[in-house]
């Protein structure tokens, strides 16, 4: 691997690791508040909140989950996938270097600038942004004073621009590869190709929505104000955001699908089963991903006909997703898996992806989504897919990439233990969230003690918190094992 590309990849991975550590710590703070409201956090409480006797101040709580979601999506998973594409993609398509490595270097600078802007918002006047990772109006318009919200807009815009640059390089690397045989292109490369295509299509929409929101905050426009005021409608922003926001799920998981398929096939010592069907499923998901976003708006006042249309499309996109599961089962059927670390992560990812996909079906239905929308059930569902499955897939890709970087991955027993500890920890965190949502616990809840009907469910909150601590510890243990034997 070229030294410049290696340096860029290592720095990008380090930045992603920093973002993941920050997002993980924020999630532990949120979990403590939900499990032990009113009790100070041992050791960290006096350090983080010296003027508050409880766990987390009510004024700071919305800012914590805003930063958690923003950091995890835009400054942890996204730069990690960008770095892994830089490392893994050229040899997959028969190239020594990516087509335009300077784009990845520019992307690294934008990722770093964006994270710095986001953290600077913590010290802004009137505090950090507190409108969730979606930044929905009116909370994010001029009614939210201070520079924190504006810095958030600029930070996410930097991440979006960085991702666009990396995606352009991915497209150029694959399409411009000499003597490229599309019929022999590995599924990992197909995953990166379709993810880059979605980035090129939908990230400009996010950037446009952020620009309009910035205009509302600082240029005196009223594009996303209440409908009672001339020309403004907050629902327009929701449409613009989720046109990007739902494809983002597939942008993050398509490379994981490809990597899991290749890892299982390699461990089984056979080609991936139903390979053409998997590529067709990836293409179908890419085509349909921008048409299903409306299930995020089923409770926002859509017309019944439009809501039923989005429900049908959402159920339809589950069919190509099932093709991946069918391919994995067919690949593994009758196979004797050899010792392989990426395969261990991939098997765990398959289990969590299937569970996460099944829990998404009730949310696609208009009738059940009205009860589950904005509940802890939604949090459990999308974390099973976007957090647990993608995390395991990233480690599967990382174990392959470390050798190309000249670093040694942890041993296979350590990788197996880490894979299943991560899977069990994720199940221990997010399955209780499903139960809490079925019990009526709302998401973004601050103090469960205020609601008598939630008192019997407090044990589930504490189970999730203990599992979250174990999950975080498992990642630290892997990091220590890698650091001791990295050369």
Q: What is the pLDDT of residue 52?
A: 65
Residue 338 predicted with pLDDT over 90: no
Name the DSSP letter for residue 453.
G
What does DSSP assign to residue 77?
I
Spell 116-126 as b/e; 16+ CB within 10 A means b.
ebbbebeebee
Does residue 82 carry a pLDDT above 70?
A: yes
DSSP code for 73: I
Give the SS3 label for residue 246. Answer: helix
Residues 254/170, Cβ–Cβ less than 8 Å: no
> Tell me, what's the pLDDT at 7?
93
CB atoms within 10 A of CB 1: 18
Tens digit of pLDDT for each residue in 424-477?
A: 999 999 999 999 999 999 998 888 888 999 999 999 999 999 999 999 999 999
Tell me if residue 375 falls in helix, strand or coil: strand
d(CA 386, CA 77): 9
3-state secondary structure of 95: coil
> Can you tell me whether residue 442 is helix, strand or coil?
strand
- Is the model's pLDDT at 228 over the cut of 60? no
Assign a CATH topology to domain 3-484: Cytochrome C Oxidase; Chain A (1.20.210)
pLDDT above 90: residue 165: yes
Name which of 50-64, 113-127, 246-260 the model is least confident about: 50-64
Instruction: Tell me the mean pLDDT in the region 145-168.
Output: 93
Query: Stretch 255-264: mean pLDDT, rounded?
Result: 94
**Length of the chain as a residue count:** 487
CB contact at 8 A, 40 and 57: no
Work out the number of other CB atoms within 10 angstroms of the CB of residue 129.
Answer: 29
* pLDDT tens for each residue of 366-425: 999 999 999 999 999 999 998 999 999 999 999 989 988 888 888 889 999 999 999 999
| Confidence at residue 230, expressed as pLDDT on a 0 to 100 scale | 64
Taking each helix axis as running N to C, give the angle between helix 390-404 and helix 234-268, from 0 to 180 degrees, rounded to the nearest 10: 60
Class of residue 87 by CB neighbours under 10 A (exposed 0-12, middle 13-18, buried 19+): buried
Q: What are phi and psi of 33, to 5 degrees?
A: -60, -40
Sign of CA dihedral 231, 236, 240, 243: negative
Distance CA(364)–CA(295), nearest Å, equals: 6
Give the separation between CA 7 and CA 28, rounded to whole angstroms: 32
| Token couple for 27 | 């999630």
pTM of the model: 0.93
Helix (H, G, I), strand (E, B) or coil at 373: coil
pLDDT at 159 over 60: yes
Higher pLDDT, 177 or 312: 312
Rounded to whole angstroms, how far apart are CA atoms 6 and 132? 35
Instruction: Check residue 233 and give its pLDDT.
Output: 82
pLDDT at 458: 92
Percentage helix, strand, coil, to 5, in the chain?
A: 75, 0, 25
* Whether residue 45 has pLDDT greater than 70: no
Q: Is 418 within 8 Å of 396 (Cβ atoms)?
A: no
CA distance 151 to 116: 9
9-18, pLDDT tens digit by residue?
999 999 999 9
Q: 412: which DSSP letter? A: H
Q: Over 80: is that where the pLDDT of 485 sits?
A: no
Taking the CA of residue 449 as centre, how many other CA atoms within 13 Å lie in the half-sphere pointing to its CB?
7
Q: Of the ranges 9-23, 115-129, 329-343, which is most confident?
A: 9-23
Q: Is the pLDDT of residue 324 over 70?
A: yes
Backbone angles phi, psi at 270, to 5 degrees: -155, 160
Give residue 40's pLDDT: 79
Strand partners, 442: 375
Q: What is the arithmetic mean of pLDDT over 263-283?
A: 91
pLDDT > 90: percent of the chain: 64
51 — pLDDT class (breaks 50, 70, 90): low
* pLDDT confidence of residue 231: 66
What sign results for the dihedral spanned by CA atoms 100, 105, 108, 109? negative
Token pair, residue 395, equals 């480690």
Please enumerate, as own/partner, the contacts of 268-275 that have beta carbons within 8 Å and a separation of 24 or more. 268/331, 268/332, 268/335, 268/336, 268/337, 269/335, 269/338, 270/331, 270/335, 272/187, 272/327, 272/331, 273/327, 273/330, 273/331, 273/333, 274/323, 274/326, 274/327, 274/330, 275/187, 275/327
What number is the average pLDDT over the span 345-361? 93
Could you tell me what percent of the chain has a pLDDT over 70?
A: 96
Per DSSP (E only), the strands in 297-438 are none
Least confident of 53-57, 92-96, 212-216: 53-57
Cis peptide before 138 (omega within 30 of 0): yes
Q: What is the pLDDT of residue 54?
A: 66
Residue 294 has pLDDT above 60, yes or no: yes
**What's the Rg (C-alpha) of the chain?**
22
* H or E element in which residue 376 lies: helix 376-383
Helices (H) and strands (E) in the chain, counts: 16, 0
- pLDDT at site 449: 87
């Amino acid at each position: 691997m070229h030294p410049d590309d290696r340096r860029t990849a290592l720095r990008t991975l380090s930045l992603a690791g920093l973002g993941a550590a920050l997002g993980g710590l924020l999630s532990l703070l949120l979990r403590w508040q939900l499990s032990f409201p009113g009790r100070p956090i041992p050791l960290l409480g006096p350090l983080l909140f010296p003027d508050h006797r409880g766990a987390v101040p009510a004024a700071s709580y919305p800012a914590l989950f805003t930063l958690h979601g923003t950091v995890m999506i835009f400054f942890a998973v996204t730069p990690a996938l960008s770095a892994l594409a830089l490392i893994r993609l050229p040899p997959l398509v028969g190239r020594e270097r990516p087509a335009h490595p300077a784009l990845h270097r520019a992307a690294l600078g934008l990722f770093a600038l964006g994270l710095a802007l986001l953290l600077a918002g913590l010290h802004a006047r009137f505090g950090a942004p507190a409108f969730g990772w979606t930044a929905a109006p009116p909370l994010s318009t001029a009614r939210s004073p201070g520079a924190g919200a504006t810095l958030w807009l600029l930070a996410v815009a930097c991440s979006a621009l960085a991702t666009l640059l990396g995606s352009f390089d991915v497209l150029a690397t694959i399409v411009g590869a000499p003597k490229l045989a599309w019929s022999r292109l590995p599924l990992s490369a197909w995953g990166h190709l379709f993810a880059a295509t979605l980035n090129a299509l939908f990230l400009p929409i996010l950037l446009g929505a952020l620009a309009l929101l910035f205009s509302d905050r600082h240029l005196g426009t009223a594009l996303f104000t209440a409908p009672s005021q001339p020309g403004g409608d907050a629902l327009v922003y929701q449409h613009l955001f989720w046109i990007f926001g739902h494809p983002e799920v597939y942008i993050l998981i398509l490379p994981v699908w490809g990597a899991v398929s290749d890892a299982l096939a390699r461990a089984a010592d056979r080609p991936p089963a139903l390979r053409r069907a998997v590529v067709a499923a990836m293409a179908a998901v890419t085509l349909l991903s921008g048409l299903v976003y409306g299930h995020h708006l089923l409770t926002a006042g859509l017309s019944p006909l439009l809501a039923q249309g989005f429900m049908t499309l959402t159920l339809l996109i589950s069919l190509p997703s099932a093709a991946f599961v069918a391919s994995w089962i067919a690949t593994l059927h009758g196979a004797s898996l050899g010792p392989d670390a990426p395969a261990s992560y991939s098997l765990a990812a398959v289990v969590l992806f299937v569970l996460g996909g099944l829990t998404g079906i009730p949310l696609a239905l208009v009738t059940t989504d009205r009860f589950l929308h904005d509940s802890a059930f939604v949090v459990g569902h999308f974390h099973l897919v976007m957090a647990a499955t993608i995390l395991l897939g990233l480690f599967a890709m990382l174990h392959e990439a470390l050798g190309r970087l000249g670093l040694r991955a942890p041993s296979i027993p350590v990788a197996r233990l880490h894979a299943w500890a991560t899977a069990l920890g994720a199940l221990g965190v997010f399955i209780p969230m499903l139960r809490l949502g079925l019990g009526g616990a709302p998401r973004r809840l601050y103090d469960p003690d205020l609601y008598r009907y939630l008192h019997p469910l407090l044990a589930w909150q504490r189970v999730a918190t203990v599992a979250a601590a174990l999950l975080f510890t498992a990642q630290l243990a892997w990091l220590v094992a890698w650091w001791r034997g990295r050369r």
